[in-house]
Amino acid sequence: MNESIAVQAKNLYKVFGKKPKEVARRLSEGASRDEVSALGTAAVIDASFEVKTGEIFVVMGLSGSGKSTLIRMLNGLVEPTSGTVTVVGTTITDISQAELRRVRQKSVSMVFQHFALLPHRTVLENAAFGLEVQGIAPVERRARAQRVVELVGLAGWEDKLPRQLSGGMQQRVGLARALTAETDVLLMDEAFSALDPLIRREMQEQLVELQAELGKTIIFITHDLNEAMFLGDRIAVMRDGRIVQVGSPEDILTDPANDYVAQFVQDVDRARVLTAASVMEPASAEVSVTSGPRNALRTMRDLQSSAVFVVGRGRQYLGVVRDRDVMRQVKAGETDLRDILRKPQAVSPDTPLVDLVEPSIESGLPLAVVNETGKLLGTIPRVTLLAALGNVPLTTQSIPIMESPSRLTRRDISEALTETVGYEAAAGTEHRTGGRA
């Protein structure tokens, strides 16, 4: 298995009933779930996927979709009827119990929905329990558990018993126990579903922070679509035992594989899932800073735009120039666009749409989308942002208008360019340096 793949499931079936092997065989030959129901209940049908090292992979589905059975096959709690599971390079199907225990101790740990804490042990003792099972010396396991207890926000609660904690704090203990084991893979089965909404959101945010800090591979089971969209780097959607789509949150939301997925995602808060990169348009109203004001004015005339983006070498975003300012430069014979540059706020490509509304309203111009090196990637006109938030498809390929249409007419601009044509000679080779960088 590729080193960048932490977990691999290949053609997994799990059937409960009288003749599981026969049911799995008939399903693989094309029989439907209903056709074999008399012989057994197919909980998972031909599930195949790979989980990359260091990602949060979410398995999402309604009750009865097979997601909890699936995750239990990933650490050997449920034995597959057929198919294989490989965890950090070890195929765990058909291995001995001793080998399976070793994999669980070293490679994969689990956080359960209902905490599963030892009621007679303290927070610190619960967090250290996995290390105790591994035979780690008391001093070392307490030190390792203490670090993780502090990491999950339970400093000062080390000596409390589970009954003295709130539900959210108890779940933090369960998370601390799994993290203290220092396994490569963390399985989480509906881990936050028993929590109140505010605490649940807090735990989701903390999990994302911990994953970014620790680099764990996390497989998270949930029936909550918004939770899946918030947590998942990729999402597998299950229905009736089958995985019907695997993709990024954006893929699931904007390109659902079938009507079931489309109905599932129709009420998702798009503003928190889609990002600037998802909706940005090509920056058609764009000129190089070296092309000068005459070329900028021509571009605005041709696009019927009241402003253009200005870029430097390598399409580095420098700012925006407006038609009236450029017109004054042209009439005055000035040649440097830098003198009239304005630099409205730019956004990064991973900015959620919910964070773009206010700057879009305040700017009056399309938002510039710029990467970490300052390169202009695209723009987001306000109409594009509103269409994305409302799930309304746009029929245009690009929208050149920067704000309201220019108050300078095409005739005004053409006359200014004609009247000042003599300035080109005085300006040297300005007209020959036009175009984009």
Rounded alpha-carbon distances, angstroms, from residue 40 to 12, 28, 67, 175, 201: 16, 14, 18, 35, 38
Asked if 250 and 235 count as a contact pair (C-beta separation under 8 A), the reply is: no
pLDDT tens-digit map of 282-296? 887 899 999 999 999
Band (pLDDT 50/70/90 cuts) for residue 72 is very high
Report whether pLDDT(41) > 60.
Answer: yes
pLDDT at 363 over 90: no
Domain boundaries, the chain: 53-76+94-271, 277-433
- For the chain, the first-to-last Cα distance in angstroms comes to 44
Rounded CA-CA distance 428/419 in Å is: 17
Give tens-digit pLDDT for 101-149. Answer: 889 888 999 888 777 788 999 999 999 998 888 888 999 989 999 999 9
Instruction: Give the model's pLDDT for residue 106.
Output: 87
Q: Which fold has domain 53-76+94-271?
A: Rossmann fold (3.40.50)
Local structure of residue 139 (DSSP, 8 states): H
pLDDT band at 1 (very low <50, low <70, confident <90, very high): low
Predicted confidence (pLDDT) at residue 427 exceeds the cutoff of 60: no
Please give the pLDDT value at position 399: 45
Whether the pLDDT of residue 236 is over 90: the answer is yes
- Which amino acid is residue 272, in one-letter code? R
Residue 395: pLDDT over 70 = no
Percent of all residues in the chain with a pLDDT value above 90, rounded to a whole number: 50
What is the structure's pLDDT at 111? 86
Q: How far apart are alpha carbons 277 and 24 in whole angstroms?
A: 42
pLDDT digits (tens, 9 = 90+) for 153-180: 899 999 999 999 988 889 889 899 989 8
Distance CA 62, CA 79 (A): 22
Instruction: Say which CATH class 277-433 falls into.
Output: alpha beta
> For 42, which DSSP code?
E
pTM of the model: 0.74
Buried b (16+ CB within 10 A) or exposed e, 143-166: ebbbebbebbbbeebbeeebeebe
Supply the pLDDT for residue 303. Answer: 86
Rounded Cα distance between 367 and 177, Å, is 45
What pLDDT is stored for residue 360 in this prediction? 85
| Residue 164: CA count within 13 A, CB half-sphere | 11
Region 87-96 average pLDDT: 92
- The model's confidence at residue 266, banded by pLDDT at 50, 70 and 90, is confident
Phi/psi for 233 (5° steps) reads -75, -40
* Pairing label, strands 346-347, 367-370: parallel
Instruction: Flag the least confident range among 136-140, 229-233, 383-387, 405-409.
Output: 405-409
Mean pLDDT over the full length of the chain: 86
Q: State both tokens at 154.
A: 């339970």
pLDDT per residue over 180-224, tens digit each?
Answer: 888 899 999 988 887 888 888 888 888 988 888 889 999 999 998
